[in-house]
Every structure is written in C-alpha cells, then in structure tokens.
Amino acid sequence: MTATVMQASAADNKRPFDGKDAKLVLAHLLVAFTALLLGGVAGVLQGLVRGGMIELPSEIGYYQILTAHGVLMALIFTTFFIIGFLYAGVSKTMGGKLLGVVSRMGWAGYVLMTVGTILGTIMILANEATVLYTFYAPLKANPFFYIALVFVVVGSWISGYGIFTQYRYWRRTHKGSVSPLFGFMAVATMLVWQIATIGVAITVLFQFIPWSFGWVEKINIMISRTLFWYFGHPLVYFWLMPAYMCWYICIPKIIGGKIFSDSMARLSFVLFILFSIPVGFHHQLMEPGIAPVWKYIQVVLTFMVVIPSLMTAFAMFATFEQTGRAKGARGLFGWLKTLPWGDVRFFAPFMGMLVFIPAGAGGIINASNQMNAMVHNTLWVTGHFHLTVATTVALTFFGVAYWLIPHVLGKQLTPRMNRLGIIQTIIWLIGMFFMSGSMHTVGLFGSPRRTAYTTYGDHPDAVFWMPYHVAMAIGGTILFIGVILMFCNMIALMRAPKGDEKTAAEFPIGETADAAEPTPKWIERWGVWVGVLVVLILFAYTVPFGDMLVNPAPGSKPW
C-alpha cells in the first residue's frame, strides 16, 4: 500500500508561527545557547591550560572545567537545541500548533531538564562532580549530580512523549496519508533517544545512586561503562539526526530545489533506529572483560550504521546536482556555482556537511579494531568529535537558528545578520581547523586526551607534542570568539525587526521531487522497527553483559 506524502506549500512555510509555541521553542534555545556560552568559557580555559599558556587559580581544577565543558556543550546545548527544534517543526508541519496536552508536556520536560541542568552545573562548579561528561565508574560524584541527571533524562522523556502524542494525533486525523517528513524524523530521533537513555537510567538508578549515597560499597565498573556506552553511542546519532533533518528537509528548500527522495530519507532514519544502539562496544575495544567475538559483532554493526550516512551523502549530492542542473548548470561540477553561498542558512550547514567527510572517515578509522589501538585515548579521538558534533552538528544547528529564531517571532533575517552569520561560520571553521587538525595529528603521535598540562619530565616525545598543544589553544581561542559571536547573534536575532508576509523569515520545508513515487506505508510500522532493534540489542549485548555480571573483571577496583 502506498500513500501520497503531504506536500508543504510556500504559504505554509511563511505562515506565522503560533505565539504560544514560539515561547516554548525560544525557552529551549535560550538555555541551549547559554550552555554553549558557559561551556565555551570552560573550553577556552582548558585549552589555554593544556597549551601551558595559563595556570588556573588553585580552587579550580582542570578536570573540573573539562567536565563543565563536556556536560554543557555535548549534553545540554545539544539536547535543549534539539528538543526546541523538533517541537518547532512538529508544530509547524503537524497541525500548525501544538495540542494543549503536548504543549504542557513540552513545558514539563523543559522545567525538569532546566532544574536538572542547574543542579548538575552547581555540583560541577562546587567540584562535587568532577567525573567528566562520560561519568562512568570508577569516578564518583556527589549523589545530587546523579539526581540532576535523572531530572534531565526524565524531562527529555516527557518532551519525547509530547512529540509522539502530536504525531499520533496527526495520524489519527489524516488516515491513509503518510506523515510529514519532519514529524516522521522527529519521532525516529526521539525513539532512538528513549531506548538509548534506558542505559543511563539503569546505571544511575541501580549503580550510581546507591553507591554515591554509600548504601552499597562496590560498583561493577564494567557494567557501568557498558551501560554508559550502550547510551553513549546512540547519543551521537541523537545529535546527528536533527542535523540530517535540516539537510534533508530544509536545505533543498533553501537552495531552491526539492527533496531528492522522501522514501530514501525515511529509510535512512529507519536504519539509524536499527543500528545506532547495538554498537557501544566500539568505544570499549581496548577493554578487558569483553570477549573478542562480541567486539567483532558490534564492529560489524558499527559498519552497518555508516550506511545511512552514506545514503545521506548521496541524497545531498543528488539534491545539489538536480537543483543546479534545473538552474542551467553544465559540466560535472557546474552545479556547485549555483548554490547560494552567501546565504548563511545554507552556508553554515553546508560547511558542516563538508567537514563530515573527513570526520566520518575518522570515525571509520576509530571503529577498526587495530587502528583503534593506535588512536584510543589519544587526542585523535578529541579531534574526531570536535569535527563531528562540534562542527558538523553545531554548524548545522547554528544555521538553523538563523531562520528559526526570527521565524517563530515573525521577524526578519536581515542582510546584516546574515553577514554576521557567515563571519561566525568562517571563524568557527578557522578555529576548528587549527584545533581539531592539531588534535588529530598529535593524537597520532601518542599525546593522550583528558590530561592536564604536563611536560612529562621533558621526555623527548612530549617535547615534540608541545607546539601542537599550543596550536590547539590558539584554535580554541578563535572558537571562543566564535561562541561569543554566536551568542550575540542569537540575542540580535531575537531583537530583529518585525517582518510582514514577504519579509519575515520562513520555516524552510522542502517538497519532494519524487512525489509521483509515493512513499510506502510500511515505513511507518514503528512496532516492527522497534521489534527488530530489540532483537539486535539482545543479540549484541545479552551474552557479554551476562558475563560481566557473573565474572566481574579481576582487580576491578582501581581507585
């Protein structure tokens, strides 16, 4: 059975955004960008420390600001931005406004997450939770840090239920139609999140809270690391999928083209559901206590999860080329010239795509067991995720903010703001070139990640690393300027002049090029996808997990 996809019309994109929903979206973006600013302060400080250029006052520790940086940037900025963005698109494409109950869920989620964020940040600033953003054992925080995590996770669950509720309502009232692409992708993203965070919930409730309160004396470190990475890998797709939503849905509209294929876009998200979770062991390849065969199986599944990204790369090239040719471009690369380089809504996410080519290649290197032995726990890995999440995803989110903020407020994206956006993007790219470039290089030479300033007793190898650490600090400082500019841009966007029907920023939702080839309805059989996912998770984890329970790794009390 097939059904026609509801096509977005130009009028829909321009239609003013619901005033009440706008508040919910902006509330999320405000917390997101505040976290970015505070996380940026921590980031530049730690870069300068590591480069040997400053010393922190004795009350502040390197690992403390490293924790603040990771938590605020990787966990808080992303989660708040994503939920704000998804609610905006869900409101826009599935009914024009949120149902009352959905809006209430959105606010409830927001309040819980914000309380959790404030509590968690206080704990980190009080040096009570210097456990890094990965927080697995044996590092131990104040119990209130784990309680803060519970608030954030439960809040995000409620926000997710809100999205599911709006989606269910839309489908009930549009029987026979395939849902809007944005709604479908929002549900897929939140589904990955719900299933992934079960790992955090279990480790926090059953391991960390009892242990940190002192109710139990010991903690099983392998279990805690495994549950963390069960969550930690899909976490990166929870960041990536909303960026892909911008690429698939918004970019075609911005460049004056069409979505290459609605079905293929949906299929790639289904593949993310299936393969993004049973792969956590690729973060544990160098760990004892997991039999090689299970590492091997999860690495195979890791290579499966590369496929939807390759499909996305294909779809993007196809959209660019089709659009360019429709505009009269000739030759193999003539279409490149027809792209709107001066439009920040395109430029920032596009630069994100471009960076994702080496970033993704780096990921494939990480996942290859023998090469992982070379790069694991070195600055190479830090370089990898500053390209993936801190460039590909971050630049895409920034690119979204330039139209999302003015759109929900009925304001304009003025040429001046557009120019500032382009400048911000370029600053980011330059900063990241130096920072991530030197991280990758010095990582290959063996310089470890997560290490405060040290000269290693002037060992010849370490002396050789030092200039790279300085280059990292210079890149980090340029990025910090980028963070400040982004924060100012966000405030300026909120204060932009009002627009009318013609001048107000639009919510760019593309039409599909393959509308004549209707999307198969089975693509929305969520029960089937979740069923297959559960089977894959049980297959990939049951035996090794059971092994860890029965045979905790010998000597597993290194602290």
Q: Closest approach of Cβ 388 to ligand HAS, in Å?
A: 3
Enumerate residues 6+ apart whose C-beta is below 8 A from 191.
273, 526, 529, 530
> Does 306 engage in binding with ligand HAS (CB under 6 A)?
yes
Tally the C-alpha atoms within 13 A of residue 167's C-alpha that lie toward its C-beta: 25
> Does 357 engage in binding with ligand HAS (CB under 6 A)?
yes
Q: Which of 28, 266, 282, 386 is catalytic?
A: 386
Would you say 508 and 15 are in contact if contact means Cβ atoms under 8 Å apart?
no
Q: Closest approach of Cβ 85 to ligand HAS, in Å?
A: 15
Residue 233 catalytic? yes
Residue 237 catalytic? yes
SS3 5: strand
Residue 386 catalytic? yes
Among 17, 62, 230, 385, binds ligand HAS (CB under 6 A): 385
Alpha-carbon distances, residue 373 vs 45, 191, 282 (angstroms): 30, 33, 11
Instruction: Quickly tell me which residue has 């899909």 as its tokens.
Output: 234
Alpha-carbon distances, residue 349 vs 318, 393, 402 (angstroms): 16, 8, 11
Q: Which of 62, 182, 385, 468 is catalytic?
A: 385
> Does 384 engage in binding with ligand HAS (CB under 6 A)?
yes
User: Can you give 517-555 as a three-state secondary structure string?
Assistant: CCEEHHHHCHHHHHHHHHHHHHHHHHHHHHHHHHCCCCC
Among 376, 407, 411, 469, binds ligand HAS (CB under 6 A): 376
SS3 445: coil
Residue 450 catalytic? yes
Q: Which of 237, 347, 397, 402 is catalytic?
A: 237
> Does 312 engage in binding with ligand HAS (CB under 6 A)?
yes
Among 24, 29, 36, 236, binds ligand HAS (CB under 6 A): 236
Q: Closest approach of Cβ 73 to ligand HAS, in Å?
A: 10
Q: Closest approach of Cβ 411 to ligand HAS, in Å?
A: 30
Residue showing the smallest CB distance to Cu ion in the complex? 233
Token pair of 146 as six digits = 């784990």
Enumerate residues 6+ apart whose C-beta is below 8 A from 7.
511, 512, 515
Between 254 and 283, how does the x/- string for binding to ligand HAS read (CB under 6 A)? ----------------------------xx
Among 101, 126, 293, 310, binds ligand HAS (CB under 6 A): 310
Q: Which does 306 bind (CB under 5 to 8 A by kind): Cu ion, ligand HAS, none?
A: ligand HAS
The span from the CA of 73 to the CA of 77, in Å, is 5
Instruction: Quickly tell me which residue has 């593309």 as its tokens.
Output: 510
Amino acid at 107: W
Between 281 and 300, how does the x/- string for binding to ligand HAS read (CB under 6 A)? -xx-----------------
Residue 449 catalytic? yes
Instruction: Quickly tell me which residue has 């927080």 as its tokens.
Output: 135
Buried b / exposed e across 280-299, counting CB within 10 Å, b at 16+?
Answer: bbbbbbebebbeeebbebbb
Q: Which does 302 bind (CB under 5 to 8 A by kind): Cu ion, ligand HAS, none?
A: ligand HAS
Among 393, 471, 496, 509, binds ligand HAS (CB under 6 A): 393
- Alpha carbon 140 to chain centroid, angstroms: 26
Q: Which of 206, 445, 450, 487 is catalytic?
A: 450
Q: Closest approach of Cβ 239 to ligand HAS, in Å?
A: 4
Binding segment (CB under 6 A) for ligand HAS, from list 116-124, 266-274, 366-374, 500-508: 366-374
Q: Which of 28, 50, 225, 233 is catalytic?
A: 233
Total interface residues for ligand HAS by CB under 6 A: 33
Compute the chain's Rg from CA coordinates: 23
Among 124, 381, 429, 439, binds ligand HAS (CB under 6 A): 381
Token pair of 487 as six digits = 């924060």
> Does 233 engage in binding with Cu ion (CB under 5 A)?
yes
Among 239, 248, 465, 480, binds ligand HAS (CB under 6 A): 239
Q: Closest approach of Cβ 275 to ligand HAS, in Å?
A: 10
The span from the CA of 390 to the CA of 388, in Å, is 6
The span from the CA of 483 to the CA of 477, in Å, is 10
Q: How many CB atoms lie within 10 A of CB 10?
A: 11
Q: Please classify residue 104 by burial: count the beta carbons closer than 10 Å to its beta carbon, then call 0-12 exposed, 13-18 middle and 19+ buried.
A: middle
In the complex with ligand HAS, which residue's Cβ is closer, 179 or 298? 298
List of residues contacting ligand HAS (CB under 6 A): 134, 236, 239-240, 282-283, 302, 305-306, 309-310, 312-313, 316-317, 336, 353-354, 356-357, 360, 363-364, 366-367, 372, 376, 381, 384-385, 388-389, 393
Known catalytic residues?
233, 237, 384-386, 449-450
